[in-house]
Amino acid sequence: DQVQQMKEIRDQITRFMMTYKFGLREMDTKLTILKEEFQLFHDYNPIEHIKSRIKSPESILQKMLRKNIEMSLDSIKENIRDIVGIRIVCSFTADIYKISDMILKQKDITLIECKDYIKNPKSNGYKSLHLVLAIPVFMSDREEQVYVEIQIRTVAMDFWASLEHKIYYKYNKSIPEHLVKELTNAATAANELDLKMERLYKEVTYIKEQETSNYAVNPLG
Ligand code: 0O2
């Protein structure tokens, strides 16, 4: 009967969303391990911070309508690949690729899609590395592959993207032309800051290495 049918649909949706919650936890654990291990053994942590979210049913619905996606759980699973979204913010551009390599090397992770907006920034200046991964979630009676979207970017890229996102939404998606230009200029400034900080970091690392090797030759000097 109808009540029974409603209950079944409710259970299906609960199971569906739960799978994503577990997927996020698995990925969170993987990233925590990378972060802690890096800190312990390399004396340097490339990960500044990590933010994650599960898309709300409301945003899933909005995206389905926007992209004309069929109303079924299978179709949502296949077409909306950012239900689990993780953003990793790191110190320097080179760290982005180091982190991405460390993630992709793991045997249970499958790369589904990679968009490199660092090598090919968007016309507004947006930069980030986007990966869509599939990871297995093991439950009592089955294993499911869950899609997870990971965005990796530097602090400067993140600063720009967060503010651009706010401005964009404030203007209700039709920004005056001069503001579009200024935002793109701001993206260039963020990029210059990234390059400058990377240069400074390399210089300091070089000086430190020199000091260490001098010390090795003459421990008293
Ligand atoms: P939220 O709230 O961050 O999730 P799609 O994801 O399918 O709608 P597309 O173009 O295939 O669209 O995905 P893409 O290019 O991988 O980018 C999607 C996400 O990247 C966005 O998610 C943003 O988080 C980020 N992003 C992409 N372009 C820009 C940009 O120009 N400015 C900013 N600030 N962020 C961007 P959502 O769903 O828009 O939002």
DSSP secondary structure, 139-208, as one string: -SS-EEEEEEEEEEEEHHHHHHHHHHHHHHHHTTT---HHHHHHHHHHHHHHHHHHHHHHHHHHHHHHHH
Kindly report the protein residue whose alpha carbon is nearest to atom 35 of ligand 1: 161
Instruction: State the pLDDT at residue 102.
Output: 93
CA dihedral 131, 24, 92, 188 (to 10 degrees): 60
Tell me if 64 sits within 8 A of 76, measured CB to CB. Answer: yes
| pLDDT above 60 (res 73) | yes
Q: Which atom of ligand 1 is nearest to the CA of 151?
A: 20
Whether 149 is catalytic? yes
**Structural domains of the chain sorted by starting position, each given as residue range(s) with its CATH number in brackets:** 2-156 (3.30.460.10)
Q: By C-alpha distance, which of 149, 153, 111, 104 is closest to 128? A: 153
Q: Which two tokens stand for residue 91?
A: 């110190």
Kindly report the protein residue whose alpha carbon is nearest to atom 10 of ligand 1: 115
Say yes or no: ipTM exceeds 0.90. Answer: yes
- State the angle between helix axes of 177-217 and 155-170 in degrees (0 to 180), rounded to the nearest 10: 170
- Average pLDDT value for residue range 50-63: 93
The tens digit of pLDDT for each residue in 5-15 reads 888 888 888 88
The tens digit of pLDDT for each residue in 127-171 reads 999 999 999 999 888 899 999 999 999 999 999 999 988 887 767
Q: Which atom of ligand 1 is nearest to the CA of 122?
A: 31
Among 8, 149, 182, 198, the active-site one is 149
The tens digit of pLDDT for each residue in 92-139 reads 999 999 999 999 999 999 999 999 999 999 998 999 999 999 999 998
Residues near ligand 1 (Cβ within 6 A): 82, 85, 115, 122, 124, 126, 130, 161, 164-165
Q: Which two tokens stand for residue 135?
A: 């990871």
Distance 186 CA to ligand 1 centre (A): 19
Q: Which atom of ligand 1 is nearest to the CA of 161?
A: 34
Distance 27 CA to ligand 1 centre (A): 20
Q: Which residues contact 121 (CB under 8 A, 6 or more apart)?
A: 127, 187
